[in-house]
């Protein structure tokens, strides 16, 4: 069986420009998650009259986790930033839609990777342009066909 990410299994060069598009999509998604987290943080702060101040610091990672998990496992198979740049996430082995657990794990592995920046260099040597967190979550990012 042909591997999903091979050029024969997909339309013309689904990996062309993926790294650059992923970086721009990441910036867009970080902006969206930041806005969403700020709005929720202020709303909870006002609703609890400031009593939730000490419980709110972990709000951003929690929102980012569910933002990625729910949007990527949804019917459009991409975060809003990924959709804007014409990308989608699929399971690496068979190209199926990514389940929530894989999408959420991908986000978790991605944010943990920020503590070890050289890990991002893996995509420069991988023939399928996959990052280490993609490999750990069993997913691949391709251009929409």
- C-alpha of 106 from chain center: 6
Q: What is the pLDDT of residues 22-81, one digit of tens each?
A: 999 999 999 999 999 999 988 988 998 888 787 777 888 889 999 999 999 999 999 999
Q: Average of pLDDT values for 103-129?
A: 89
pLDDT at 8 over 70: no
Sign of the CA dihedral with 73 first, then 140, 86, and 61 last: positive
Q: Is residue 65 part of a domain?
A: yes
Residue 39 near residue 31 (C-beta atoms within 8 A): no
More reliable by pLDDT, 145 or 61: 61
Q: Is residue 4 part of a domain?
A: no
* CA-based nearest residue to 81, from 35, 26, 144: 26
Q: What is the domain range of residue 69?
A: 18-143
Question: What is the H or E stretch that residue 133 is in?
Answer: helix 132-137
Q: Cα separation of 75 and 73, whole Å?
A: 7
pLDDT at 3 over 50: no
Q: What is the pLDDT of residues 64-107, one digit of tens each?
A: 999 999 999 999 999 999 999 999 999 988 888 999 999 999 99
What integer pLDDT is reported at residue 55 of this predicted model?
Answer: 73
Q: Is residue 12 part of a domain?
A: no
Sign of the CA dihedral with 44 first, then 101, 95, and 18 last: positive
Q: Average of pLDDT values for 126-134?
A: 88
Total number of domains in the chain: 1
pTM: 0.80
Residue 114: count other Cβ atoms within 10 Å of its Cβ.
9
Q: Cα separation of 108 and 41, whole Å?
A: 21
Q: Is residue 13 part of a domain?
A: no
């Amino acid at each position: 069986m042909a591997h999903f990410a091979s050029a024969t299994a997909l339309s013309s060069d689904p990996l062309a420009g993926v790294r650059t598009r992923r970086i721009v999509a990441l910036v867009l998604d970080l902006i969206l998650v930041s806005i969403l987290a700020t709005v929720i943080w202020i709303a909870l702060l006002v609703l609890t009259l400031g009593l939730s101040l000490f419980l709110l610091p972990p709000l951003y990672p929690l929102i980012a986790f569910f933002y990625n998990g729910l949007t990527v496992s949804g019917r459009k198979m991409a975060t809003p930033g990924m959709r804007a740049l014409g990308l989608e996430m699929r399971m690496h082995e068979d190209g199926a839609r990514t389940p929530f657990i894989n999408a959420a794990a991908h986000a978790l592995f991605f944010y943990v990777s920020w503590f070890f920046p050289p890990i991002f260099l893996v995509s420069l040597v991988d023939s399928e342009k996959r990052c280490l967190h993609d490999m750990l979550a069993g997913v691949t990012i391709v251009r929409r066909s």
